[in-house]
Amino acid sequence: GSRGSTLNTAGNGFAGRMELYDRENGPPEPDQLERSRPTENDPIHLKRRVGLVSGVALIVGTMIGSGIFVSPSGLLERTGSIGMSFVVWMSCGLLSLLGALSYAELGTMNTSSGAEYAYFMDAFGAPPAFLFSWASTLVLKPSQMAIICLSFGKYAVEAFVTECEPPEIVVKMVALLAMVVILYVNCYSVNLATSVQNVFTAAKLVAVLIVILGGAYKILDGNTQHLRHPFSNTQYSIGNIATAFYTGLWAYDGWNNLNYVTEEIKNPSKNLPRSIIIGIPLVTFCYALINISYLTVMSPMEMMTSEAVAVVFGNRLLGVMSWLMPLSVTISTFGSANGTLFAAGRLCFAASREGHLLDILSYVHVRRYTPSPGLVFHSVIAGAMVLYGTIDSLIDFFSFTAWIFYGGAMLALIVMRHTKPNYPRPYKVPIVIPYMVLFISFYLIIGPIVDKPTIEYLYAALFILGGMVFYIPFVHYKYRIPFMDGLTVFLQMMLEVAPTTNMFD
Ligand code: ARG
């Protein structure tokens, strides 16, 4: 039948809905309207729609966020020399690639979404999987969000404050504002969230290209003076190097992002490994060039003391166009934060379909099909982290916790080679690779503790194990708190959400 777009006489917000029905058949029943909303592109109805290009984009778009624009100073400070910091940058890229290759085996063997959660269920059973979903909903995902939004705030404010350090409270307020906008976008519609993601990924690639081309121009112009003695002043302390790795690995975090959405990849046994093999070296290559670019316009000393390296770069190189740099970074971080919250919502589903999280967190808005309760919950925790944390402390805290689980996934792979030898493995990683990554993650977890035992690491470890206090009564024995069901119903009516049984069909 012909499209109903000519019926646009209402001239109001209904225009978008009008083209959903045929002219002959008249307006649809209200419930028909609701059902026709989700289309093929609607990610919560897990259709396989991620091909090679979008797979690469999902990896690259998540990995490039705040890190490459913020971390170079911290990394240089911790390693002492540009040579050593370059070695760490490249090793982080290699480590991410090795980790991701192992995840490619895991992801093609167990093709359900939710990454670590699904692999822990297979290899170790419910309690470790629960502890992962516990730590990631309460700590990992919110701290990622907080770090990215703080970087957003820093660059957004930096653009207007040129004479002095941007006041901290203003940075935090701007970070919170960004968080609220992103929460709104993600609660409003899934399609809006994915469009935001695509537009912002494209924009951040332009930003990366500007920095690289600027650096190339400067090098050809003979500005190599800061690159001459790369290893002078290197710090060799084990703990310093381990924390330098934390800073660097933050910039690469997101290398496992495609594993959260395996259920949506077309032909995953081919496209998952391929996207990894293209995406991660691409990011590593960009980061190498960007680091060199920075050093063509500023000395290592200036880089170490600068709060926002990319802005300094822009000011020195782009002249009247220098506003382009802070703008690009805010775009890049905004997109990254949007993608992070989006993935957080999905993890909530994966865990709650096993009954591992509060019921209400798995509910979906009845008209918008967005997982609003989970999103709001994440954002509230992330907001508290923005108020009480700093970028550096949050990064250390995050990386420590994250690498416990990345290491755990390596162990899961090794264990399943023995316990499930006959599972189909369309992609099989050379077994030395997960052993290597496991060994390095040990070092990353133990190194900073041995070197400088701060109480935060203990808190983080206790917190993860503390999840068992909730696991035993509420998940294992399925105990239900008396007033909880009433509260769930109340929240359900207030937020207009409902459980979805066929979310993953
Ligand atoms: N690597 C990103 C950055 O530099 C952070 C990615 C956060 N991680 C994630 N899985 N979303 O800012």
DSSP assignments along 4-73, one per residue: GGGGGGG-STTHHHHTTSBSTT-SPPHHHHHHHSS-TT-TTS----B-HHHHHHHHHHHHSSSHHHHHHH
Say how far apart CA 115 and CA 117 lie, in whole Å.
5
Mean of the pLDDT values across residues 213-220?
89
Residue 498: pLDDT band with limits 50, 70, 90: confident
What single string gives the DSSP state of each residue in 227-270?
GSSTTTT----HHHHHHHHHHHHHHHTTTTGGGGGGGGBSSHHH
Distance 337 CA to ligand 1 centre (A): 8
CA 479 to ligand 1 center in whole angstroms: 36
CA of 144 to the centre of ligand 1 (A): 7
Is the pLDDT assigned to residue 185 strictly greater than 70?
Answer: yes
Single-letter code of the amino acid located at 129: A
Question: Which of 253, 282, 331, 346 is the best mutation target for the ligand 1 pocket, counting ligand atoms within 8 Å of the beta carbon and taking the most?
Answer: 253
CA–CA separation, 426 and 106 (whole Å): 10
Ligand 1 atom closest to the CA of 256, numbered from 1: 10
**202: CA distance to ligand 1 center in Å?**
16
Q: Quote the ligand 1 centre to 283 CA distance (angstroms).
A: 12
- Which residues are CB-neighbours of 370 under 8 A, at least 6 positions away? 44, 186, 187, 188, 189, 190, 193, 345, 364
Q: Is 162 helix (H, G, I), strand (E, B) or coil?
A: coil
CA angle 266, 267, 271 (to 5 degrees): 90
Report whether 394 contacts 143 (CB < 8 A): yes
pLDDT band, very low/low/confident/very high, at 194 (cuts 50, 70, 90): confident
The pLDDT value given to residue 8: 32
Whether pLDDT at 41 is above 50: no
Q: Please identify, by atom number, the ligand 1 atom nearest to the C-alpha of residue 66.
A: 12
Residue 47: pLDDT band (50, 70, 90) is low
CA distance 384 to 37: 35
Mean pLDDT value of segment 36-64: 67
> What digits encode the pLDDT tens for the residues 375-421?
888 899 999 999 988 888 888 788 888 999 999 999 999 999 999 99
User: What's the mean pLDDT in 129-137?
Assistant: 86
Could you tell me which residue, 121 or 496, shows the higher pLDDT?
Answer: 121
Half-sphere exposure of 118 (CA within 13 A, CB side): 20
Mean pLDDT of all residues in 237-258? 87
- H or E element in which residue 214 lies: helix 190-220
Q: Among the atoms of ligand 1, which is closest to the Cα of residue 339? A: 11
Taking residues 334-352, report their average pLDDT: 81
Q: For residue 501, name the pLDDT band (cuts at 50, 70, 90).
A: low
Instruction: Give which of 117, 60, 2, 56 is closest to 350, Cα–Cα.
Output: 117
Average pLDDT (454-460) is 74
Ligand 1 pocket test, pick from 59, 63, 329, 405 with the greatest ligand atom count within 8 Å of Cβ, gives: 63
| 486 CA distance to ligand 1 middle (Å) | 37
Q: What is the secondary structure of 466-488 as a DSSP string? A: HHHHHIIIIIIS----TTHHHHH
User: Which of 64, 250, 258, 395 should be mutated for ligand 1, with most atoms under 8 A from CB?
Assistant: 250
Spacing, Cα 131 to ligand 1 middle (Å) = 21
Q: What is the ipTM of this complex?
A: 0.97
Cα 13 to averaged position of ligand 1 atoms, centre (Å): 36
User: Which of 7-16, 37-46, 231-240, 405-414 has the least mean pLDDT?
Assistant: 7-16
Query: What is the position in ligand 1's atom list of the atom closest to the CA of 148?
Result: 12
Nearest residue CA, atom 9 of ligand 1? 254
Question: Which residue bears the tokens 């379909």?
Answer: 353
CA 18 to centroid of ligand 1, rounded, Å: 39
For residue 353, the CA-to-ligand 1 centroid distance in Å is 26
Q: Please state, in angstroms and as integers, the Cα–Cα distance from residue 147 to each residue in 21, 65, 114, 132, 179, following that order.
A: 44, 10, 22, 20, 11
Query: Which residue out of 59, 92, 148 has the highest number of ligand 1 atoms within 8 Å of its CB and is therefore the one to mutate?
Result: 148
Query: For 150-178, what is the mean pLDDT?
Result: 85
395 CA to centre of ligand 1 in angstroms: 10
Cross-strand pairs, 497: 365
What was the pLDDT predicted at 333? 92
Dig out the tokens for 388 from the structure.
């009480």
Between the CA of 343 and the centroid of ligand 1 the distance, in Å, is 11
Q: By C-alpha distance, which of 368, 347, 388, 335 is closest to 178?
A: 335
For the stretch 277-316, pLDDT in tens is 999 999 999 999 999 999 888 888 888 887 778 888 888 8
pLDDT at 39 over 50: no
Task: Please give the number of the atom of ligand 1 that sits closest to the Cα of 333.
Answer: 12
* Pocket perturbation via mutation, ligand 1, pick of 336, 340, 378 by most ligand atoms within 8 A of CB: 336
Contact 370, 186 (CB under 8 A): yes
Residues 115, 254: Cα–Cα separation, whole Å: 12
- Residue 198 CA, ligand 1 centroid: distance in Å: 16
Ligand 1 cavity residues, CB under 6 Å: 62-63, 65-67, 144, 148, 250-251, 253-254, 257, 336, 340, 343
Highest mean pLDDT among 346-360, 396-410, 462-476: 396-410
452 falls in which pLDDT band (50, 70, 90)? confident
Give the pLDDT score at 282: 94
Ranked by mean pLDDT, the top range of 138-147, 225-234, 323-332, 429-438 is 429-438
Average pLDDT score, the chain: 80
Query: Which of 96, 116, 137, 144 has most ligand 1 atoms within 8 Å of its beta carbon, as the pocket-test mutant?
Result: 144
Check residue 30 and give its pLDDT.
39
**Least-confidence region, from 15-19, 22-26, 186-190, 462-466:** 15-19
Q: Whose CA is nearest to atom 10 of ligand 1?
A: 254
CA–CA distances in Å: residue 466 to residues 138, 441, 458: 12, 22, 12
Please tell me the residue having the least CA distance from ligand 1 atom 11.
340
Q: What whole-number distance in Å separates Cα of residue 294 and Cα of residue 218?
A: 10
Burial tier of 222 (Cβ tally within 10 Å: 0-12, 13-18, 19+) = exposed
**Model confidence at 40, in pLDDT bands (50, 70, 90)?**
very low
CB-CB contact of 341 with 375 (8 Å): yes
Closest C-alpha among 260, 263, 189 to residue 39: 189
- pLDDT, tens digit, 9 for 90 and up, residues 251-287: 999 999 888 777 778 888 899 999 999 999 999 999 9
Task: Give me the mean pLDDT over the 417-445 stretch.
Answer: 92
**Which of 199-208, 316-325, 366-375 shows the lowest mean pLDDT across its residues?**
366-375
pLDDT-derived band at 334 (thresholds 50, 70, 90) equals: very high
pLDDT category of residue 131 using cuts at 50, 70 and 90 = confident
Q: What is the pTM of this model?
A: 0.82
pLDDT value at 94 more than 60? yes
Q: What is the DSSP string of 330-365?
A: HHHHHHHHHHHHHHHHHHHHHHHTTT-S-GGGG-EE
Specify the ligand 1 atom closest to the Cα of 151: 12
- Supply the DSSP symbol for 160: T
Give the pLDDT band of residue 100 (cuts 50, 70, 90).
Answer: very high
Identify the band that residue 430 occupies on the pLDDT scale cut at 50, 70 and 90: very high
**Which candidate, 337, 405, 320, places its Cα nearest to that of 106?**
405
Dihedrals phi, psi of 22, to nearest 5 degrees: -80, 150
User: In sequence order, what are the residues at sequence separation of 6 or more whose Cβ sits closer than 8 angstroms to the Cβ of residue 68?
Assistant: 208, 251, 286, 287, 290
Element (H, E) at 134: helix 126-135
Name 350's Cβ contacts closer than 8 Å, sequence gap at least 6: 112, 113, 114, 117, 118, 133, 260
